[in-house]
Amino acid sequence: MSPNCFPWLLLLQLLLHSTMIAAAKVPAIIIFGDSSVDAGNNNFIPTVARSNFEPYGRDFNGGQATGRFCNGRLATDFISEAFGLPSTVPAFLDPKYSIKDFASGVCFASAGSGYDNATADVFSVIPLWRELENFKEYQKQLKDYQGEAKAQETISEALYIMSLGTNDFLENYYTVPRGRRTQYTVDEYQDFLVGIAEGFIRDLYKLGARKLDLTGIPPMGCLPLERATNPASRDACNEMYNRVAWNFNSKLKRLISKLNRELSGMTIIYGDIYYLFLDVIKKPLTFGFEDANSGCCATGIFEMGYLCNRRSLFTCQDANKYVFWDAFHPTERMNLVIAAEIMKTTLQVFK
């Protein structure tokens, strides 16, 4: 057994240990967001933002390309397992699943989406407002399946997770010509996105949500794709993008403080992945990783989506050694590190 297996097994044991404590209080995991948490919804819409092909999913239950932008499971899958729920959270649009499966967990996220509707338009994916409409449809199905009272209990006791925002900057603001960058300064655009987040959370509250993890964005200048285009040095993080991410996260935290004061009975916690990513990237060996600069798939510098495919040369043999799976998304093992950290530091309030 590789030495890298031991930290992974230890983290899994810590996650599963929390199961015995947490299982009774969270009956379901309900997820909104982008490719960081999309379990395969994009497989069922006309978009190029997909990953339902090899080598994606090569370590997922014996090798299944589910549409997760990863070699295996996502952080939300591990979080579900840690709460004593199924080890994977199914995509709402996947016809293999029914309300019986969704009653304990459902994912509405869409790879390529963001807070801004214009971000979803870039790759014709599901905008955040449509994710909310799908949630309303889910509520109807849940009430038919569980009955009104039980469904209301599930909806109020469920853990809601929101994970998005990176695409708004890297896919939209800094990329689309004559787009948002001509309308807003970056500070104004952050405020615009935070306003959308606030409206979405208030809508969730009206629909019965009471437990929410609002996840911040990572130091996006350290993603392999952004390192590759860094004018200073390909080996260094793009510090401008990191500052944008840090400032945006600070505004999300202020929003959370405000909403916790104003939304009676609701608990919103901030999922901090920014500093965790920085720690892993600066000290990968401490976490059992060997490469924190490039992805496992192909050259690991710019490939993701269709550019990361089974014909790609140079794809690594052991993804556990890598922080990143492709040039944008973490490996299953990094997702486990994220889940373990969030369970330990923030989600413990819901135990």
What pLDDT was estimated at residue 229? Answer: 79
Asked if 250 is an active-site residue, the reply is no
CB hemisphere CA count around 245 (13 angstroms): 26
pTM of the predicted model as reported, rounded to 2 decimal places: 0.94
Strand order across the 267-271 sheet: 105-107, 29-33, 159-163, 211-215, 267-271
Asked if 34 is an active-site residue, the reply is no
CB-based burial label for 132 (10 Å; 0-12, 13-18, 19+): middle
Integer Cα distance of 216 and 307 in angstroms: 27
What pLDDT was estimated at residue 247? Answer: 98
10: left (phi over 0), alpha (psi -120 to 50) or beta: alpha
Cβ atoms within 10 Å, residue 129 = 13
What pLDDT was estimated at residue 20? Answer: 46
Residue recorded with tokens 């849940």 = 142
Integer Cα distance of 203 and 116 in angstroms: 16
**Residue 331 forms beta bridges with which residues?**
none
The closest of 106, 119, 95 to 180, measured between CA atoms, is: 119
What pLDDT was estimated at residue 232? Answer: 65
For residues 267 and 260, the answer to whether their CB atoms sit within 8 Å is: yes
Structural domains of the chain, with CATH: 25-274+335-350 (3.40.50)
Which is the catalytic residue, given 34, 36, 59, 329? 329
φ, ψ of residue 107 in degrees (nearest 5):
-115, 125
For residues 141 and 155, the answer to whether their CB atoms sit within 8 Å is: no
Mean pLDDT of residues grouped by 10 in the chain (351 residues)?
A: 50 56 76 98 97 96 94 97 95 98 98 98 98 98 98 98 98 95 98 98 98 98 88 80 98 98 98 96 94 92 88 90 96 96 90 73
Per DSSP, 30 falls in state E
The SS3 assignment for 249 reads helix
Integer Cα distance of 35 and 74 in angstroms: 10
Cis status of the peptide bond prior to 46, with omega within 30 of 0: no
Which is the catalytic residue, given 34, 77, 168, 326? 326
Measuring CA to CA, how many Å separate 51 from each of 57, 59, 65, 140, 166? 9, 14, 7, 30, 18
What pLDDT was estimated at residue 234? Answer: 67
The closest of 63, 67, 77, 65 to 42, measured between CA atoms, is: 67
The amino acid sitting at 17 is H
Asked if 326 is an active-site residue, the reply is yes
Helix, strand and coil percent figures for the chain, each rounded to 5: 50, 10, 40
Measuring CA to CA, how many Å separate 50 from each of 26, 43, 243, 328, 335? 30, 6, 29, 13, 19
For residues 227 and 235, the answer to whether their CB atoms sit within 8 Å is: yes
Which is the catalytic residue, given 18, 35, 104, 163? 35
